[in-house]
Amino acid sequence: MLLMFNYGAGSAVAETMAAGHRATPMTFTDIDGRSANTNDYSDRVQVWTFGDYRSSGRLMEWMETAGLQAMSKHPNLRFSFLNFADVSKVPALFRPMSIEIMRHMNESAKEDLEEAYAKQGVELTPDRAKFHLTADWEGDFLKLFGIAHAKQYHCWVVHDGRVIAHLVEGSPDITSRFSAAIASIEQDRALNSH
C-alpha cells in the first residue's frame, strides 16, 4: 500500500492535486521544443517541480541532494523530472532572450547534476532519468496547480497517475519526506510484483 504525503502550505493547492488523488494529466512543450504528456511517463516516478527566479536556485540545490539520495537508494526506479519555471512576469518582448538564457542555465545545471551524481556512482542515462524544463509564460501551470506564486518552490511526487506527495519549500525536513515518498513507491511495486 502506498503511503500518501501532503506537506506544506496545502491550502494553496488545488483540491484535486492533494496526496492520494489522481494526478491532473498535463501536456507541455519544454524549452527545447520537445512536447510530452505526463501520461508518457506513467511507468516512472515523476517529480514535478515549480519555481521562479527567486526559488529556482534553492530548488536546484535541494533537488541535487534529494534526487541523488532517491536515485542512489532506489537504483531500480526510473525517474522523470518535469520542471516548470514561472516566467509569467517576463514581458513578451524579452521572451526570446529569456528562453536562450534558460536553455544555457538548464544545460549548465544538467552538467552540474551529472557531475555530482557521477561522484556518487549514479549515472544519469536517458533511460534512468528524463528531464524537461517548461517555461510557464502565462502562468497556466501555476493556475492549474492552485499556486499563487512560486517564491517558494513546490514539488509533487507522482507515480502511476497518483499524487504521492506534495512538498513545499520551508516545510519541515522535506528531503526526508521526499525520500519516504520515493521509498513508498518502491515498496508498493515490490508488493504488487508478488
Could you tell me the CATH number of the domain that includes residue 59?
3.40.30
**In a domain? residue 128:** no
Q: Cell numbers of 97, please?
A: 532572450
Please check the confidence at residue 1 and state whether its pLDDT lies above 60: no
Number of domains in the chain: 1
**In a domain? residue 132:** no
What pTM, to 2 d.p., does this model score?
A: 0.89
**In a domain? residue 143:** yes
Q: Count helices and strands (H / E) in the chain.
A: 4, 8
* Helix H or strand E encompassing 144: helix 140-144
Domain span holding position 160: 5-23+41-123+137-192
Looking at residue 184, what is its pLDDT?
96
Looking at residue 15, what is its pLDDT?
54
* Residues forming beta bridges with residue 28, ordered by sequence position: 36
Average pLDDT over residues 156-161: 95
Please check the confidence at residue 67 and state whether its pLDDT lies above 70: yes
Q: Cell numbers of 113, please?
A: 547534476
**In a domain? residue 158:** yes
Please check the confidence at residue 7 and state whether its pLDDT lies above 50: no
**In a domain? residue 29:** no
